[in-house]
Amino acid sequence: MHEIYTEFMLQKMNNIRMNKFQEDAKHLSSSLNVSGRFSFQKSAMKHVVVDIANKLSLRAEDSLLDIGCNCGDITIPLSFMCDSCTGVDGESAIERLKKRTQDLDNVSFIVGDFSELKIEEQYDCILIYSVLMYIDGYDNKRNFIKKACDLLKPGGRMLVGDVVNTSVKERYSNSEVGRKIDKEYKHQLTNLTQEDIIKSENNVTEPFDIMDDKKVCDLLLEIRNWGYESFLLPQSVELPFGYTRQDILIKRW
């Protein structure tokens, strides 16, 4: 009974958070805010697309599925690097993405919560970026990734990007480099305009459920037990949270 209740509550919380993202996508004027970044990280976001494309080994002939595509800050530039690109997200986010891609004939959309969708097509590349931290519970994260893995074509690649790892963050925070960078980061926060502060406080969504070294390593092993290859990759320090976040690369034979 306890397990059933826990599963029900986790799903309920996920639904509430999904609704919040949809409301953010509907009302916020800046796609950067919807994406959960601070305004001063805008320049760093430019490096994210290149980093993703390199890690996925994205090719001009590839089909790409972007799960949790949001308003398309990553989806749109990646669409110029591949043959076709499909974005998956809630209705409000997809509506904004549609408006931004009216002139792109290789971008398509799937509306809904990926964990509840039935997708038949398979893809050369799959991207799940800044999503895992908003899925409650290790089992739900694992099931989410397993479902995505099943959509990979033979030889396909998947990047589970921007994974928050508390163990990494703790080691970083306790280091001399970490303390120095953190001081600079806080200084940038103090230089925000009043408008930026209001936007940041209201719209930068904090991770709901994050993992540590053990959970990340457990997940890597589980993925391998499913028959895929999995690799833990560092992020470039040029990325918005590059010092403390990691990426998981998955390959299907």
Domain ranges for the chain, please list them: 2-170+199-251
Residue 26's nearest CA partner among 88, 112, 96, 74 is: 96
Instruction: Give the model confidence (pLDDT) of 214-230 as tens digits.
Output: 999 999 999 999 999 99
pLDDT score for 184: 78
How confident is residue 18, by pLDDT bands cut at 50, 70 and 90? very low
Instruction: Give the model confidence (pLDDT) of 165-216 as tens digits.
Output: 999 999 999 999 888 888 877 776 676 665 555 555 555 555 567 899 999 9
CATH homologous superfamily of domain 2-170+199-251?
Vaccinia Virus protein VP39 (3.40.50.150)
Q: What is the distance, to the nearest Å, from the Cα of residue 63 to the centroid of all Cα atoms in its chain?
A: 18
pLDDT score for 209: 78
Instruction: Give the model confidence (pLDDT) of 29-53 as tens digits.
Output: 444 444 445 554 566 778 999 999 9
pLDDT score for 6: 39
pLDDT score for 190: 73
On whether the pTM is more than 0.85, the answer is: no
pLDDT score for 80: 98
Task: Examine the pLDDT at 20 and tell me if it is beyond 60.
Answer: no
Task: Provide the CB-side half-sphere exposure for 75 (13 A, CA).
Answer: 30
For 19, the 3-state DSSP assignment is helix
Cα torsion 77, 48, 21, 220: sign: positive
How confident is residue 253, by pLDDT bands cut at 50, 70 and 90? very high
Given a contact cutoff of 8 angstroms between Cβ atoms, the answer to whether 210 and 165 are in contact is yes
pLDDT score for 193: 61
Break the chain down into helix, strand, coil percent, rounded to 5. 50, 20, 30
In 10 A of CB 153, how many CB atoms? 15
Q: Strands 229-234 and 245-251, how do they pair?
A: antiparallel
Residue pointed to by tokens 């290859």: 229
Q: What is the mean predicted confidence (pLDDT) over 91-98? A: 96
Q: What is the mean predicted confidence (pLDDT) over 151-167? A: 97
pLDDT score for 9: 38
Q: What is the mean predicted confidence (pLDDT) over 134-157? A: 97
In the structure encoding, which two tokens stand for residue 223, read together?
Answer: 């993925």
Given a contact cutoff of 8 angstroms between Cβ atoms, the answer to whether 252 and 156 are in contact is yes
Given a contact cutoff of 8 angstroms between Cβ atoms, the answer to whether 188 and 40 are in contact is yes
Task: Examine the pLDDT at 164 and tell me if it is beyond 70.
Answer: yes
Cα(134)–Cα(113) distance, integer angstroms: 13
